[in-house]
Amino acid sequence: MLDILYKRIVVKVGTSTLTYDNGRLNLRRMEKLACVLSDIKNSGTQVVLVSSGAVAAGAARVNLDHHPMTLIEKQAMAAIGQSELMRMYERFFSGYGHQVGQILLTKSIMDREEPWQNARNTFSTLLKMGVIPIVNENDSISYDGIKFGGNDTLAALVARVSDADLLVNLSDIDGLYDKNPRENEDAVMIKRVKDIDDEIFAMAGGEGTVRGTGGMRAKIEAAKTVTEAGIAMVIANGENPEVLYEIAQGKGIGTFFAPRT
Mark residues 76-105: x for contact with ligand GLU by CB under 6 A, - for none. --x---------------------------
| Least CB distance to ligand GLU at residue 4 (A) | 27
Cα gap 150→139, rounded to integer Å? 10
User: Buried (b) or exposed (e) across 180-216, using 16+ Cβ within 10 A?
Assistant: ebeeeeeeeebeebeebeeebeebbeeebeebbbbbb
Q: Which is nearer to ligand GLU, 212 or 254 (CB)?
A: 212
Give the pairing of strands 192-193 and 232-237. Answer: unpaired
Which of 31, 137, 165, 221 forms a contact with ligand GLU (CB under 6 A)? 137
How many CB atoms within 10 Å of residue 50?
A: 29
138 part of the interface to ligand GLU, by CB under 6 A: no
136 part of the interface to ligand GLU, by CB under 6 A: yes
Q: Which is nearer to ligand GLU, 14 or 254 (CB)?
A: 14
Which of 19, 169, 213, 225 forms a contact with ligand GLU (CB under 6 A)? 213
Which of 212, 215, 238, 254 forms a contact with ligand GLU (CB under 6 A)? 212
Collapse the DSSP code of 245 into the 3-class scheme (helix H, G, I; strand E, B; otherwise coil) and give the result.
helix
Cα gap 247→42, rounded to integer Å? 16
Q: Which is nearer to ligand GLU, 4 or 220 (CB)?
A: 220
Which of 151, 169, 171, 227 forms a contact with ligand GLU (CB under 6 A)? 151
Q: What is the CA radius of gyration of the chain?
A: 17
150 part of the interface to ligand GLU, by CB under 6 A: yes
| Least CB distance to ligand GLU at residue 223 (A) | 15
| Least CB distance to ligand GLU at residue 7 (A) | 26
165 part of the interface to ligand GLU, by CB under 6 A: no
Which of 145, 215, 241, 254 forms a contact with ligand GLU (CB under 6 A)? 145
Cα gap 108→30, rounded to integer Å? 29
Number of residues that bind ligand GLU (CB under 6 A): 18
Cα gap 209→261, rounded to integer Å? 33
Mark residues 102-131: x for contact with ligand GLU by CB under 6 A, - for none. ------------------------------
**Exposed / middle / buried, residue 26 (Cβ in 10 Å: 0-12, 13-18, 19+):** middle
Q: Which of 23, 94, 89, 28 is nearest to 60 (CA)?
A: 23
Spatial contact of 82 and 72, defined as CB atoms under 8 Å apart: no
Spatial contact of 10 and 156, defined as CB atoms under 8 Å apart: no
Q: Which residues here bind ligand GLU, judged by CB under 6 A?
A: 14-15, 52-56, 78, 136-137, 139, 145-146, 150-151, 212-214
